[in-house]
Structure 1
Amino acid sequence: MIEWRNLYRGMIMGASDIVPGVSGGTIAVVLGIYERFIEAINGVFTKEWKRHFAFLIPLGVGVVFAMWLLAGAINWAFEYYPNQVQFLFLGLIAGVIPLLVRKSEYKQTFGGTHYILFILATLFVASMAFFSEGSDTSAMTSFDAKTYILLFFSGWLASSAMILPGISGSFLLLLVGMYPTFTYAIEELVIDALIPLGLGIALGLIIMSKILTYLFHRFYYQTYALIIGLVIGSLVVIFPGFESESMRNVLSAIAFILGLLVAYGLGKIEHKE
């Protein structure tokens, strides 16, 4: 049976994936579907493919629809209210950390190795803040064999990061100068660009899901230590600092509180089922 509630989950993930610095994988954690998401991607070529597709199809439709519908609005908000958008996602991400800590059962399960993984993951993602300026290239509007290959590998890179909590696929696209082309292709439905980009994204998701499935099966609590570190490190990357206008800082505080409340509400809805 198709899980239609994944439509709204996918829309939230799709909206977050457009914003550089925000990870769709983190939002999957907020929604309580991260492990199921990894399992479903990894299971599309198994005998239970129908069950996994029933989970993934509405999720994928929601992601694509939100990215197309909201690309312009998110880009506009990110251009004129960047701090407020980032504080909103800061609240969403901060709000899920207590849930992750509880799921990890760190008091009973964590030892020295877990804390080392946690610290390394936090430092790794936090270090990306030093590269936050990224590349400021304009969008590609004409395509040839070279740009098709570039789009394919950009999609692969973005999706491999996107599936990891704390690491933003959009942010990596920004670093390699492909983010303007990515948003242009989605907003304008440029099929020439979307096909190689989509193939790269699909391949990246499949390969990374297999790696993560192996880690969850063999090193469950170590993987949770890693994920918690990735999520906490992302707070450093997303934090935009404060502005000179006090009213805009008030709006940022409101956005942060709203993000916390949404994360709490989603947690109550998703995790009681």
Structure 2
Amino acid sequence: MFSTGMVPDGVTFVGVLTACSYTGKVKEGLDIFESMKSKYMVEPKTEHYACMVDLLGRAGKINEAVNIIEKMPMEADAAVWGSLLGACRTHAKLDLAEVAAKKLLVIEPENAGPYILLSNIYASQGKWNDVAELRKNMRARSVKKSPGSSWIEVEKRVHMFTTGDIRAHPEHSMIMKMLENLDVLLREAGYNPDGNFVLHDVDEEEKLYSLRYHSEKLAVAYGLLKVPKEIPIRVMKNLRVCGDCHTAIKLIAKVTEREIILRDANRFHHFKDGICSCRDYW
């Protein structure tokens, strides 16, 4: 834009900083953020600070992200604290996660997101009493968590899958058979289910059962059954794809020699030959 004489505005910088965040380009992002005001006379707003917190947080630079928040000339909003909370989830920074979650609960008391992310952190560390307390608070405030749901279009008809509810689909027996076949192929390829993504205090066998029936896995299994091999399998999901499903779908794409495109709540993931377009940086 600069080379052609076009002047970037605030929206332009949101896009560029988001791109830096998604690709791990920390130095480039910091340089661009610094240039906004000094070079382009664009005053950074809360959305730009949220991008910077996300950029630093994804890269594991949590303290630097906190410094950005502390130096903001305006009050941090939900997007800023949400970015910090997400980074704390990725890098298991429990103390800061609690701070960010409490800020979010004040700003958006009816939003289930902060409860879920903090619950994820507690669950990953086996703090089931804290998980139970969070759920109690959610019930007291009538905060509802949206169930994980995924959609796939086959022959101009949309099929919806909800986590753990496989029998709701009329072809559930075929889907279960496909999942069983995939289990064998995935284990031969070295896949080990990650029980940290199950948010219940249950034994390992139950955790593995729960992971198998995540909605995106159900939709992908149905796509393998119904979508011709020369056509990519395209799935939409209402929430962020979990880490275990991300690993599993990479391997599914490899062992079945299929292209799988998953659009979750944050971004597109294009799986092919055992690799995702996000390069596992998401």
Tell me whether the two structures share a fold, i.e. TM-score over 0.5.
Answer: no
Higher relative contact order (CA 8 A, sep 6+): 1
TM-score calculated relative to the size of structure 2:
0.25
Judging by fraction of residues, say which structure has more helix: 1
TM-score calculated relative to the size of structure 1:
0.25
